[in-house]
Chains A and B, each alone.
Chain A
Amino acid sequence: MDFKEYSVGQFDTEEQKKFRKEVSDWIDANINSTLAQSPEERGESADANLTESKAFGLKLAARGWLTPSWPKEYGGAGLSADQRHIIAEEVARRGINLPGHWANFQGGVPGPTLMKFGTDEQKKEWLPKISKGALFALGYTEPNAGTDLASLQMRAVPDGDDYIVNGQKMFSSGVHTADYHWILVRTNPTAPKHKGISLLMADLKSPGVTIQEMHTISGMKTHEIFYDNVRVPKKNRIGPEDGGWGITREALSTERVSVGASPWATKITEDLIKYAKETERDGKPLCKDPFVRQSLAQCTIEMNILRLMNARIGWLVDKGESPAWTGAASKVWEAEAGQRVANAGMQILGLSCQLEPTSKWAPLKGRVELGYREMVVRSFGGGSDEMMKSLIATIAMGLPREPQLAMPVKK
């Protein structure tokens, strides 16, 4: 048993130390003054500084460092997994948010899926594109297909060498800045719904593609995207026709690179404790209020559990074991404990919790108010808590799955 707190670079060998310094120096020489600021100064939302981080990402791409452990024939730098971790850690340590799948340094979902399921021609064409900075946005969710993704209705009808694609995707984040769309479409409307789905790569510059911004309550950017008779070449289909569902499920279990970026709720808990010590109400510091003490102590406990649950994933991966359901557990915990922290923070702030970040009276620069709105999405975005919990029960404890109806999709 060992709970030594890992600090970045702590266990580096001499060779790794040298490489880390090389990476660190290069990054500092290649980021502009905005990215060189701390995350708090820069603005924490994921869309802040998109132009700057995209420009920086392309510089990484020029070195083969967007996909550093890919072979050079695919545009990577042929580096080891350790070296890839070092690059990822040095970027994350500076709080730089690379857009979309660039952040995992392995080509996100598209990279590994193409490696595993792509034809040789597809690998030759697409992997170098990804290495050089082609950005994919995921297109799964539709108005009637979120949690029940297999109900998706975006239709792809064969026409010569192409598919003609019609339909709509929602909550397609990153689509406004991406080059390609990674979409699940229906190629067989009469089969049981998950057996009639194909996986396509669409060029977002194609005629017939319309993007419309969706306005979320937290200001987080996302989009609706409409396909009106858009041509997508059949050679852009990954895997067999109607075989997209199985590929997607396998592709979703790619290795997570957990580089220890501190989640919002952990940081805000620390800041709230500091705030409670420095702020008086009714003649005494907030931190002397028994409710505040209990509440912030509980937040601290739950954030420590999150830290340890995330560390558990890293431990399993290092041992060469599959994280299996533990990623779902961490996701649920981050969402639910994070929401509890957000609400606790709002309660502690009292009336002032209402003030938006731009208000001169807003405590903690309005970050609790913003976080309270942002945290809403965490318990369903990227997989609802309900699905995650069923996954945990069935995989961790072997409970039987709920019987599925597996009907064809009604038109």
Chain B
Amino acid sequence: MNFDFNDEQKMLKKGARDFFEKECPKSLVRQMAEDEKGNPAELWQKMAQLGWLGLMYPEKYGGSGGNMIDLIALEEEMGRACLPGAFFSTVLLGGLFILNSGSEEQKQDLLPRIADGKAIMTLALTETSGSYHAASIETKAVADKDDYIISGTKLYVPDALIADYIICIARTKKGTAPEDGITAFLVDRKAPGLKCTLLKTIAYDKLCEVVFDKVKVSKKNIVGKLDQAWGPLEQTLQQVRIARCAEMVGGAQKVLEMSADHTKERIVFDRALGSFPVIQHYIANMVMDIDGSRFLTYEAAWRFSEGMPCSKEIAMAKAWTSEAYRRVTATGHQIYGGIGFTVESDMHLYYRRAKAWEVTLGDGNFEREALAKELGM
């Protein structure tokens, strides 16, 4: 067993940490929270130049040909920095979906532009029920000669306001199983009938309501096979879950370090806050919560990068890390007390993200149920 990144990955990680410390200070994070678009242009271009947007794409599509372990090294640092912006929507949800199921033409057209920082993309999946199950897909796409007409409402679509393309997951036929009859459409955000509205959410992560009101899309813009999008979609979400877990690990580690530092500096009853066993136990519980999150995430990422089956491992990582990161941020707040309750403190930036990311892509209950199925129950 080897729990470490290799030398190149360590360099990438250190480079990313230094870069984000300089280019993504908390003042930028707070500014972006108030900003409707939330994707700082200069930062996005710098990340493109560093090859980070195309990190996971093959070189023939303008990427660096990196693997999942390279990605999680970068993701940890993004989580640590509370990096705002379109990486999750564009590079992961949109880009990986295109990579997994797009035509050669679509890949050649879209992926290099994403890698170069020239295109923003997102995925419209969840609807008003907020479910990740196929049965919840009610947005319809009805065939009309060479086009499809899409009608329905999607919620929690990240970065839809600034996206150039929205991949819409819609139902094209009522199949025998809910997963059967679902198709992915690449929709131009400026298409008539498409309306995006920013939602005010706890993590300020630019989630949008996207209403499709008889939006016409050419059948040439189907991504993958008609009626068969659910498989590639699941495949994509699995990869994104691993990446998101690593982002949570990075954030949690920062919260632990901040909290530990605070307990060394803060004096109460004539001694350091951290000299009280109760506080020491809070910190120890954080350490173990993060150990578990880190190890489960790393094992899932390694198995994925080796082409091994990893559905069990991904379910375990997402279930645990979602709840562990939340616990860590709640404990962080408890350690900081009153001063952490003010908006000027950084603690709530992590607390908000932890909760948003817990419920995104599958919370603990959802993932434990997925694991139960994997265990044959």
Contacts and interface: CB of A to CB of B under 8 A. Distances in A.
A396 interface: yes
A218 to B, nearest CB: 25
Category for how many chain B residues contact A: 35 or more
Contacts of B279: 393, 399
B39 interface: no
A297 B372 contact: yes
B299 interface: yes
Contacts of B371: 297, 300-301
Interface in B350-377: 365, 368-369, 371-372, 375-377
Interface in B263-308: 263-264, 271-272, 274-277, 279-281, 283-285, 287-288, 291-292, 295-296, 298-299, 301-303
B316 A1 contact: no
Nearest to B9: A1
Contacts of A332: 284, 288
B323 to A, nearest CB: 10
B336 interface: no
A277 interface: yes
A314 B376 CA distance: 31
B272 A400 contact: yes
A302 B324 CA distance: 12
Interface of A is mostly: helix
B117 to A, nearest CB: 29
**How many A residues touch the partner, as a band?**
35 or more
A341 to B, nearest CB: 15
A389 B284 contact: yes
Nearest to A310: B1
A296 B375 contact: yes
Contact of B275 (A294, A300, A402): A402
B162 interface: no
Interface in B206-239: none
Nearest to B317: A301
A277 B280 contact: no
Interface string B1-37: 1111110000000000000000000000000000000
Given A399-B264, A399-B283, 4 more contacts: A1-B69, A329-B287, A329-B288, A400-B275
7 contacts: A1-B302, A309-B291, A315-B1, A389-B281, A389-B285, A393-B280, A393-B283
Interface of A: 1-4, 6, 273, 276-277, 287-288, 290, 292-294, 296-298, 300-302, 304-305, 308-309, 311-312, 314-315, 329, 332-333, 386, 388-390, 392-394, 396-403
